[in-house]
Structure 1
Amino acid sequence: MTVSDRYRKAWDGFWEQSNGEAGEAFWDADASLTAERDIALLTPHADPALPLADLGCGNGTQTRHLATRFAVVVGVDLCAAAVAHARRADPAGTATYEQVNLADDAQAHALHDRLGDTHVYMRAVLHQSDPEDRPAVAASVATLVGDRGRALVLEPTGEAKAVLQDHAERTGGPSPKLRRVKEHDLRPGEVAEGEIAGLLRDAGLHVLDEGATALAMSETGADGTPVMLPARWFVAGRRP
């Protein structure tokens, strides 16, 4: 299975017209507000000896931080331009970066063959995937974690749409960062209550822990604080 031409073109266009700098994208918040906080949810369940894959790594902001916590980290993205940005931003090679279509079972298995069982960090990827691709993406997560790995999956809830709408309608209209999202036809998808847990279970994973959280954006509100999208997090693995 492969992603739709519309989806691929939308993301290729976004990253090809980006400079790759940290914070340029609407969602690319500083790692101190994202990966640093998020990873504490995974570590109680995770074997520290295993590698970690950052799925949907974009320009690698979170990947580089994760590489300070795990010995082997690979950033994975659908778009060649995103992977190129991530590599340029990491001249020391603290992590590696690969172009992988997560809706392609063969590519997921090939990555697992190279890494072995691996932990997964996946922040706000499923809701951006076309609904018909989500089961395949969840299956790729299950392939990567294998028997020993654990996945941390964070996704905005339905309430996030109202936050985005409110931000778009603020005085002066949408910010340049938010306008770029619309211009490139990046469509935040609706994620129904229970959908993420269901996708993980259907892929053969057990939800080991979950809870409410909020996803920090690089954009700020009128008060200067980061826009925060209501979200839920899930830790999942092959065995309970």
Structure 2
Amino acid sequence: MSVTSRYKEAWEGFWQEAPDRVGAVLWDAEPALTAGIHLALFEPHLSETALPVVDLGCGNGTQTLFLADRFPRVTGLDLAPAAIARARRSDPDGQVRFTVADATEPAAVRRLHRELGDAQVYLRSVLHQCEPEDRRLVAAAVATLVGERGRAFVVEPAADAGRILRELARHPDGPPPKLRAVLTHGIGPAVMPDAQVPELFLAAGLDVLASGDMPLTTTEYLVDGTRVELPSQWLVVGRTG
């Protein structure tokens, strides 16, 4: 089973049409405000820092390249070829192995695990954008990739983030440009109860080692110049026994 063709086509269309410049995409915030903050929460739980790192749902690779400056082996995966093409263009020195892959295809995930061995996984704002029936498969992919020794850092917008985005979308002048670009392709935050996030990983056989709440920074601004931040929850998951 794999994600629906509609879902793949939506993401491919989005990345083909999105402006190819830093910060042009809603969630493409600078790493100092995203992966850098997440890494500070993640690193204390990494007992084996030499393991490879997988950025699952890497998009255009902004956060992946940040991780590659801090870990020796980093792989970025995304199901949209257009996203991977952009990521490769932003990495002329080939620091990262960028690969087109569908995390809901168990055979492909197992093959990657055989190549890499146990890995640390970074999963940012992926589950809420998945079709509901595919979230279990993505969590299972994370469990496969971390194996026995790896850990995963997962951050997802909280359910209340959907309310904020819906309010922005209903503005009398229309949605802000970057949100409009996402909605135009039929991509939007699905309703996912906050409790579902840890439940997905527990069902996949992983333990929740740490968790918390934090703002998730976007690249969009309100008319008064305030940057849009979305409430989010984060987890560190892995096997402990």
Instruction: Confirm or deny a common fold (TM above 0.5).
Output: yes
Gaps of 5+ in 1: none
- Amino acid aligned to 1:232: Q
C-alpha displacement of 1:169? 3.7
Listed one character per residue, the Cα deviations across residues 164-210 of structure 1 (whole Å, up to 9, x for unaligned) are 12323446321221111111000211111310100000001000000
Return the alpha-carbon distance in structure 2 between the equivalents of residues 57 and 228 of structure 1.
Answer: 20
Q: Which residue of the partner structure matches residue 2 of structure 2?
A: 2
Report the 3-state secondary structure (helix = DSSP H, G, I; strand = E; otherwise coil) of the residue aligned with 1:159.
helix
Return the alpha-carbon distance in structure 2 between the equivalents of residues 4 and 55 of structure 1.
Answer: 18
Percent identity of equivalent pairs: 47
Q: Residues 171 and 53 (structure 1 numbering): CA distance in 2 closer, same or farther, change over 3 Å? A: same
Return the alpha-carbon distance in structure 2 between the equivalents of residues 148 and 22 of structure 1.
Answer: 34
- Amino acid aligned to 1:34: T
Q: Which residue of the partner structure matches residue 28 of structure 1?
A: 28
Q: Which residue of the partner structure matches residue 169 of structure 2?
A: 168
Report the 3-state secondary structure (helix = DSSP H, G, I; strand = E; otherwise coil) of the residue aligned with 1:166.
helix
Listed one character per residue, the Cα deviations across residues 213-238 of structure 1 (whole Å, up to 9, x for unaligned) are 11111111233232111010000001
Return the alpha-carbon distance in structure 2 between the equivalents of residues 123 and 138 of structure 1.
Answer: 12
Gaps of 5+ in 2: none
Return the alpha-carbon distance in structure 2 between the equivalents of residues 67 and 166 of structure 1.
Answer: 36
- Amino acid aligned to 1:188: P
Return the alpha-carbon distance in structure 2 between the equivalents of residues 20 and 113 of structure 1.
Answer: 34
Report the 3-state secondary structure (helix = DSSP H, G, I; strand = E; otherwise coil) of the residue aligned with 2:75.
strand
The equivalences for 1:69-148 within 5 A come to 69-148=70-149
C-alpha displacement of 1:92? 1.5
Report the 3-state secondary structure (helix = DSSP H, G, I; strand = E; otherwise coil) of the residue aligned with 2:159.
coil
Matched, 1:200 2:188: no
Report the 3-state secondary structure (helix = DSSP H, G, I; strand = E; otherwise coil) of the residue aligned with 1:234.
strand
Return the alpha-carbon distance in structure 2 between the equivalents of residues 19 and 114 of structure 1.
Answer: 34
Q: Residues 182 and 38 (structure 1 numbering): CA distance in 2 closer, same or farther, change over 3 Å? A: same
Report the 3-state secondary structure (helix = DSSP H, G, I; strand = E; otherwise coil) of the residue aligned with 1:111.
helix
The equivalences for 1:144-163 within 5 A come to 144-163=145-164
C-alpha displacement of 1:5? 1.2
Return the alpha-carbon distance in structure 1 between the equivalents of residues 226 and 185 of structure 2.
Answer: 26
Listed one character per residue, the Cα deviations across residues 141-170 of structure 1 (whole Å, up to 9, x for unaligned) are 000000010000000111101221232344
Listed one character per residue, the Cα deviations across residues 24-53 of structure 1 (whole Å, up to 9, x for unaligned) are 111111111100111111100112111111
Q: Which residue of the partner structure matches residue 225 of structure 2?
A: 224
Matched, 1:49 2:50: yes
Return the alpha-carbon distance in structure 2 between the equivalents of residues 224 and 53 of structure 1.
Answer: 34
- Amino acid aligned to 1:74: T
Return the alpha-carbon distance in structure 2 between the equivalents of residues 98 and 166 of structure 1.
Answer: 36
Return the alpha-carbon distance in structure 2 between the equivalents of residues 101 and 141 of structure 1.
Answer: 12
Return the alpha-carbon distance in structure 2 between the equivalents of residues 82 and 20 of structure 1.
Answer: 10
- State the aligned residue count: 240
Residue 22 of structure 1 contacts residue 59 of structure 1 at CA under 8 Å; is this kept in 2?
no
Return the alpha-carbon distance in structure 1 between the equivalents of residues 95 and 230 of structure 2.
Answer: 29
Matched, 1:18 2:26: no
- Amino acid aligned to 1:103: T
